[in-house]
Amino acid sequence: MNLDVIASAQVGSNGGAEIVFWVCAVIAVSGAVGMLVSRKPVHSALFVAMTMVSLAVLYLALDAPFLGMVQIIVYTGAVMMLFVFVIMIVGVDASDSLVETIRGQRWPAIAFTAGFAALLIGAIVNGLQGAPDPSLALANAADGGNVQGIARLIFTKYALAFEITSALLITAALGAVLLTHRERHTPKATQEDLSRKRFREPGHPGNLPPAGTYARHNAVDTPALLPDGSPVPESVPGPLHERGSVRPVNAGATDEVRSLAGGHTVITEDGGHVQQSDDFDNGPEAGDKP
């Protein structure tokens, strides 16, 4: 099997296993530290994913190819992506999360954790002194491979725990559905309802003219012109009004439009066409006829 080949290649040469361990350990610890110090939750999630991938490589080096693959599929593939989805819904607002609520709580917390880590590491190094050289080659070979060995244990010795796990997973799925389900108390508004509501309320029932309609420019700061040449202030987005950067309407052009709308056409010398002035270059190109 392919994974066994990878795992045995990493364990087989001792120097290779050492390099794998130190590289992955540094990546894993820096990922954990990155999760702690990054301000944005998305960055934290990606740092944790990095830690999980390096842990998967460490599992491969520890003669556990099945767990290594499951680690990549379940943790980086499913769990961390679920985190990222939830962050996209929830966590964008939470950039203030490095502020302390309880004043001065951070340094005691760091001191406590350092002491805890020192205790753990001391106990481990003390307890594992003179341990025999470990190897899983015999256990992995007993049933024809790592996957087969774990399968035999799951379905014989740990069969009850396995069944309970299935009940747990079903309960968790039901719980997630129940917790995120929202009951609709009012019927959903149809298109007809929305239309009636628009006409019942004061205001503009239809679409507002977009910026630049019938005007000289079609930039967003140019108010639309009504057929009589007067500007429509609502056609320009509100913030531009606030900032005072609405483009002023060209008075000459609007006067001409108004005069055209009032029936005072400008007759050209060569045959009754409406002459466009240079000021108003947005209309039909009637004056260009030969």
Partner 1 sequence: MTTAHYVVLSAILFSLGVLGVLIRRNAIIVFMSVEMMLNASNLAFVAFARQAGNLDGQTIAFFVMTVAAAEVVVGLAIIMTIFRTRRSASIDEPNLLKY
The CA distance from 17 to 87, in Å, is 36
Residue 107 or 199 with smaller CB distance to partner 1: 107
Figure out which of the listed residues 180, 186, 190, 191 binds partner 1, where binding follows CB under 8 A. 180
CB 232 within 8 A of CB 209: yes
How many angstroms from the chain centroid is the CA of residue 53?
20
Which residue in 23, 112, 208, 267 binds partner 1 (CB under 8 A)?
112
What is the SS3 string spanning 113-153?
HHHHHHHHHHHHHHHCCCCCCCCCHHHHHHCCCHHHHHHHH
In the complex with partner 1, the residue whose CB is nearer, 22 or 245, is 22
Distance CA 117, CA 110 (A): 10
Closest approach, Cβ 226 to partner 1, in A, equals: 42
Convert residues 116-135 into a mask of x (bound to partner 1 by CB under 8 A) and - (unbound). Answer: xx--xx--xx--xx-x-xxx
Q: Quick check: 139 binds partner 1 (CB under 8 A)?
A: yes
Question: Is residue 76 within the footprint of partner 1 (CB under 8 A)?
Answer: no
Which of left, alpha, beta for 209 (phi over 0: left; psi -120 to 50: alpha)? Answer: beta
Cα-trace Rg, the chain: 36
Per CB under 8 A, 7 contacts partner 1: no
Q: Which is nearer to partner 1, 1 or 94 (CB)?
A: 94
* 144 is a site residue for partner 1 (CB under 8 A): no
61 contributes a contact to partner 1 by CB under 8 A: yes
Per-residue exposure over 102-131, b if at least 16 CB sit within 10 Å of its own CB, e if not? eeeeeeeeeeeeeeeeeeeeeeeeeeeeee
CA distance 224 to 211: 5
Closest separation between CB of residue 186 and partner 1, Å?
17
Q: If binding is defined by CB under 8 A, does position 88 make contact with partner 1?
A: no
Residue 252, H or E segment: helix 251-261
**Whose Cβ is closer to partner 1: residue 120's or residue 286's?**
120
3, 6, 8, 17: which one binds partner 1 (CB under 8 A): 17
Interface pick for partner 1 out of 7, 53, 72, 146 (rule CB under 8 A): 146
CB-count burial class (<10 Å; 0-12, 13-18, 19+) for 143: middle
For the CB of residue 184, give the shortest distance to partner 1 in the complex, in Å. Answer: 14
Within 24-53, the residues that bind partner 1 by CB under 8 A are 25, 28-29, 32-33, 35-36, 41, 44-45, 48, 51-52
Please identify which residue in 113, 230, 245, 275 interacts with partner 1, judged by CB under 8 A: 113
- Give the binding-site size for partner 1 (rule: CB under 8 A): 87
For residue 65, what are its two tokens?
């190819």
Which residues between 229 and 268 bind partner 1 (CB under 8 A)?
none
Among 50, 57, 58, 72, binds partner 1 (CB under 8 A): 58
81 is an interface residue for partner 1 by CB under 8 A: no
